[in-house]
Amino acid sequence: MTASSTPGTAALQNDSFLRACLRQATDHTPVWLMRQAGRYLPEYCATRARAGSFMGLATHPDLATEVTLQPLERYPLDAAILFSDILTVPDAMGLGLSFAAGEGPRFAHPVRDEAAVAALAVPDLNRLRYVFDAVRSIRQALAGRVPLIGFSGSPWTLACYMVEGAGSDDYRLVKSMMYARPDLMHRILQINADAVAGYLNAQIEAGAQAVMVFDSWGGVLADGAFQTFSLAYTARVLAQLQRSHEGRVVPRIVFTKGGGLWLDDMAGLDCEVLGLDWTVNLGRARALLGHCKALQGNIDPNVLFAPPERIEAEVAQVLDRFGRPHQGEGTGPTHIFNLGHGISQYTPPDHVAALVQAVHQHSRRIRLP
Amino acid sequence: MTASSTPGTAALQNDSFLRACLRQATDHTPVWLMRQAGRYLPEYCATRARAGSFMGLATHPDLATEVTLQPLERYPLDAAILFSDILTVPDAMGLGLSFAAGEGPRFAHPVRDEAAVAALAVPDLNRLRYVFDAVRSIRQALAGRVPLIGFSGSPWTLACYMVEGAGSDDYRLVKSMMYARPDLMHRILQINADAVAGYLNAQIEAGAQAVMVFDSWGGVLADGAFQTFSLAYTARVLAQLQRSHEGRVVPRIVFTKGGGLWLDDMAGLDCEVLGLDWTVNLGRARALLGHCKALQGNIDPNVLFAPPERIEAEVAQVLDRFGRPHQGEGTGPTHIFNLGHGISQYTPPDHVAALVQAVHQHSRRIRLP
């Protein structure tokens, strides 16, 4: 990847998301939704049907571009996020990712013994070219409307799937390896961290204007194990990321689902934004982190099943808990509105419209002097 | 239920668990394991096969007694826990509890609309007589070896299953009702709280020497919703419980899985013990709560898949994080060792022996001056 592969850099028309990431003032609280290009949108389902499968969508840059832009056509969202999966990196390592209908991801070749761990290596990034092509294509299609976020799973979260071979409700296999053979687990995590760093840097080179590390399963770890097996390797990723591209800082977001107990540990991460799930009190998180991190989150996605007037009330509560964000020059506490987890496939699309509108309206209201 | 139904009250030979619950000194840290009578024990599987089903076991006091005592025959555990299920109360409300082979619990008649909520009522405790009979039978069989713990699901946790009709990974139905129709949810929770209180009081009358409220799904709630929809109703249960029986205080334990962020809210609960899962740092929890609550927990059950020497090291780490418990007269910070969640059915039974021995040995070591 070289800088010459950067797409046409149209001036950014809405930079509220990037400004909030950098703890700079904005006239409203920017909002985007995890998994905003997803099955709750009929147009997404139509494109996916044409693609034949989830990976068919993800591996065709034109289709990935189409679905990435779909939610932006419906809602005045303040950021786009690359349509892809958190597990593309282990797939490129040769583990054989697939998505059975109605089920989660599955690896054909899980990593469960010393030989399988020894065989692991940082993958050739050419095997992930479809992702970087999608980033370039999406940037072109966005034409500066809003910034584009790239992402990856965290080293620990990738390891969960790599060892379990699929989702899990007890993480027995991956934790058995961690407790019985910490040496093997550390080797997997080092490789994952270096692979994720290279992967995110290539997304940045291709045009991603911010990057997010999804530590979806960090929260299943015990206190102590989280710091050793998840946080330390997220830090190893962050240390390798390039800080700017196209003359702009590229903000780095870290989201550990279920990580609310470890916010003081995460305060030390070299990143600009921390994502929070709905169990965290935003006011307390601001008191703890507002001096050093922008905060992203954190409404329960199930709020979207309530009628619009209840959604508005819950949105106002989340915004009010954070309180008035930084105003004026310089930097200070800022908030990026999001769900505390991916949007449910059963969400009524018009309820999303109500949420986005409520965020924009109420967040302007709380900025009034 | 009357006091005359109390079983022969043999003197308690090992009261370390009850003393630790009351923040009194013990010469070792007492240990028991959530779901200690369970599928990891071949003798449990044999009894269950004879019973034909899980509910067959739970509803026959002789079989429930047999499986309750099985882990005590193998390991020097410091407490027994009634063999039963957290969902017996909604079953007695007429919701039709069953356990399909290899699956979790299921209700034939979930509570999903206003009419179903209106039809709910505190059940006749006679429908739960099999539980109280089991408590009496187990007390007799224990003959004072160790104390017996009774239990129930929390009002919120029962509501999750009652509305979802089964386990869930997103709690969409119960949270949809909570956000869209909080009035209906409050009615369910009031009924559940009063039913649970009556149920636990009847267990105490029958001979349970401590009672535990399992708020297994409190941790899925958003900050704010937890306090309103889970904690407040756990408090409503606690306020109705009788404080002593047979001339002894009956300690009350509350365990909210995933509730580590709300320990300061839980400090205000009128109970003696708080259960903690493995995400909580025991040292910090002691600093926050040690002046008012005994703490129970909190090793990751997956540690039991590591070899015995690693189990011993992890046990020592948990005990050391809590630190030296209160010694001498009066009361002070105490710890009851447990898992942070139920034991896995795949656990090797000899690893449990290693864990129990390590708790007893290392906890005596840390008491040395």
Distance separating alpha carbons of residues B327 and B364, to the nearest angstrom: 12
CB A204 within 8 A of CB A247: no
CA A314 to chain centre: 23
Q: Do A258 and B261 touch (CB under 8 A)?
A: no
Catalytic hit among B23, B35, B252, B286: B35
Tell me the chain B residues in contact with residue A221 when contact means C-beta distances shorter than 8 Å. 278-279
CB B56 within 8 A of CB B356: no
The 3-class SS string of chain A reads CCHHHCCCCCCCCCCHHHHHHCCCCCCCCCECCCCCCCCCCHHHHHHHHHHCCHHHHHHCHHHHHHHHHHHHHHCCCCCEECCCCCCHHHHHHHHCEEECCCCCEEECCCCCCHHHHHHCCCCCHHHHHHHHHHHHHHHHHHCCCCCEEEEEECHHHHHHHHHHCECCCCCHHHHHHHHHCHHHHHHHHHHHHHHHHHHHHHHHHHCCCEEEEEECCHHHCCCCHHHHHHHHHHHHHHHHCCCEECCEECCEEEEECCCHHHHHHHCCCCCCEEECCCCCCHHHHHHHHCCCCEEEEEECHHHHHCCHHHHHHHHHHHHHHHCCCCCCCCCCCCEEEEECCCCCCCCCHHHHHHHHHHHHHHHHHCCCC
**pLDDT above 70 as % of chain B:** 97
What confidence category does residue A117 fall into, taking pLDDT thresholds of 50, 70 and 90? very high
What residue in A sits closest to B314 (Cα-Cα)? A179
Between the two ends of chain B, the Cα-to-Cα distance in Å is 47
Dihedral through CA B198, CA B199, CA B204, CA B206, nearest 10? 120
Query: What is the tens place of the pLDDT at every residue in B53-69?
Result: 888 999 999 999 999 99
Distance separating alpha carbons of residues B73 and B75, to the nearest angstrom: 6
Pick from A5-19, A140-154, B115-129: least confident: A5-19
Residue A154 neighbours by CB distance under 10 Å: 27
CB B171 within 8 A of CB B225: no
Specify if B12 maps to a domain: no
Average pLDDT over residues B4-17: 73
Q: Do B175 and A314 touch (CB under 8 A)?
A: no
Among this protein's residues, is A161 annotated catalytic?
yes
Name the residue among B180, B258, B300 with its Cβ closest to that of A307. B180
Query: What is the tens place of the pLDDT at every residue in B69-88?
Result: 999 999 999 999 999 999 99
Among this protein's residues, is A48 annotated catalytic?
yes
The pLDDT of residue A104: 86
Chosen from B302, B317, B339, B341 to mutate, greatest number of chain A CBs within 10 A: B302
Specify if B13 maps to a domain: no
Backbone angles phi, psi at A245, to 5 degrees: -160, 150
Catalytic hit among A161, A199, A233, A286: A161
Q: Is the pLDDT of residue A6 over 80?
A: no
The alpha-carbon gap from A37 to the nearest alpha carbon of chain B, in Å, equals: 19
Distance separating alpha carbons of residues B175 and B230, to the nearest angstrom: 12
Please, which residues have CB within 8 angstroms of residue A320's CB and are 6 or more apart in sequence? A366
What residue in B sits closest to A298 (Cα-Cα)? B222
Q: Is the pLDDT of residue A103 over 90?
A: no
Pick from A101-105, A323-327, B216-220: least confident: A101-105
Q: Do A279 and B299 touch (CB under 8 A)?
A: no
Query: What is the tens place of the pLDDT at every residue in B108-167?
Result: 999 999 999 999 999 999 999 999 999 999 999 999 999 999 999 999 999 999 999 998
Average pLDDT over residues B245-268: 97
CA A135 to chain centre: 15
Q: Is the pLDDT of residue A74 over 60?
A: yes
- Say what angle helices B172-180 and A308-322 make with each other, to 10 degrees: 90
Among this protein's residues, is A365 annotated catalytic?
no
Specify if B353 maps to a domain: yes
The pLDDT of residue B53: 87
What confidence category does residue A8 fall into, taking pLDDT thresholds of 50, 70 and 90? very low
Specify if B320 maps to a domain: yes
Among all chains, which residue has been given the structure tokens 């109390």?
Answer: B6
Average pLDDT over residues A272-295: 98
CA–CA distance from A273 to each of A205, A263, B95, B102, B262 (Å)? 20, 12, 46, 42, 24
What confidence category does residue B13 fall into, taking pLDDT thresholds of 50, 70 and 90? very high
ipTM score above 0.85: yes
Q: CATH number, domain at A80?
A: 3.20.20.210
Question: Interface of chain B against chain A, CB under 8 Å?
Answer: 169-172, 175-176, 179-180, 219, 221-226, 258, 260-261, 278-281, 299-303, 305-307, 310, 314, 317, 340, 344, 346
The pLDDT of residue A369: 84
Q: Is the pLDDT of residue B8 over 50?
A: no
The pLDDT of residue B293: 98
Among all chains, which residue has been given the structure tokens 């002046």?
Answer: B291
What residue in A sits closest to B263 (Cα-Cα)? A261
The pLDDT of residue A2: 39
The pLDDT of residue A100: 80
Q: Is the pLDDT of residue A243 over 90?
A: yes
Specify if B175 maps to a domain: yes
Q: Is the pLDDT of residue A255 over 50?
A: yes
Structural domain total, chain A? 1
Q: Do A172 and B346 touch (CB under 8 A)?
A: yes
- Tokens matching residue A291: 């001096």
CB A88 within 8 A of CB A58: yes
Average pLDDT over residues B8-21: 88
The 3-class SS string of chain B reads CCHHHCCCCCCCCCCHHHHHHCCCCCCCCCECCCCCCCCCCHHHHHHHHHHCCHHHHHHCHHHHHHHHHHHHHHCCCCCEECCCCCCHHHHHHHHCEEECCCCCEEECCCCCCHHHHHHCCCCCHHHHHHHHHHHHHHHHHHCCCCCEEEEEECHHHHHHHHHHCECCCCCHHHHHHHHHCHHHHHHHHHHHHHHHHHHHHHHHHHCCCEEEEEECCHHHCCCCHHHHHHHHHHHHHHHHCCCEECCEECCEEEEECCCHHHHHHHCCCCCCEEECCCCCCHHHHHHHHCCCCEEEEEECHHHHHCCHHHHHHHHHHHHHHHCCCCCCCCCCCCEEEEECCCCCCCCCHHHHHHHHHHHHHHHHHCCCC
Distance separating alpha carbons of residues B337 and B312, to the nearest angstrom: 13
Tell me the chain A residues in contact with residue B223 when contact means C-beta distances shorter than 8 Å. 278-281
Backbone angles phi, psi at B115, to 5 degrees: -65, -45
Among this protein's residues, is B130 annotated catalytic?
no
Q: Is the pLDDT of residue B6 over 70?
A: no
Predicted structure pTM score: 0.95
Tell me the chain A residues in contact with residue B281 when contact means C-beta distances shorter than 8 Å. 223-224, 261
Query: What is the tens place of the pLDDT at every residue in A310-339?
Result: 999 999 999 999 999 999 999 999 999 999
What confidence category does residue B274 fall into, taking pLDDT thresholds of 50, 70 and 90? very high
What confidence category does residue A9 fall into, taking pLDDT thresholds of 50, 70 and 90? low
The pLDDT of residue B9: 54
The alpha-carbon gap from A168 to the nearest alpha carbon of chain B, in Å, equals: 11
What residue in B sits closest to A179 (Cα-Cα)? B306
Residue A227 neighbours by CB distance under 10 Å: 15
Q: Is the pLDDT of residue B188 over 80?
A: yes
Distance separating alpha carbons of residues B271 and B292, to the nearest angstrom: 9
How big is the CA angle at B157 (ends B152 and B162), to the nearest 5 degrees? 105
Tell me the chain B residues in contact with residue A306 when contact means C-beta distances shorter than 8 Å. 176, 179-180
Distance separating alpha carbons of residues B35 and A208, to the nearest angstrom: 48
Please, which residues have CB within 8 angstroms of residue A240's CB and are 6 or more apart in sequence? A193, A194, A197, A198, A201
Amino acid type, A267? A
What confidence category does residue A53 fall into, taking pLDDT thresholds of 50, 70 and 90? confident
Residue span of the structural domain in which A261 resides? 3-365
Sign, CA torsion A111/A116/A117/A120: negative
The alpha-carbon gap from A356 to the nearest alpha carbon of chain B, in Å, equals: 18
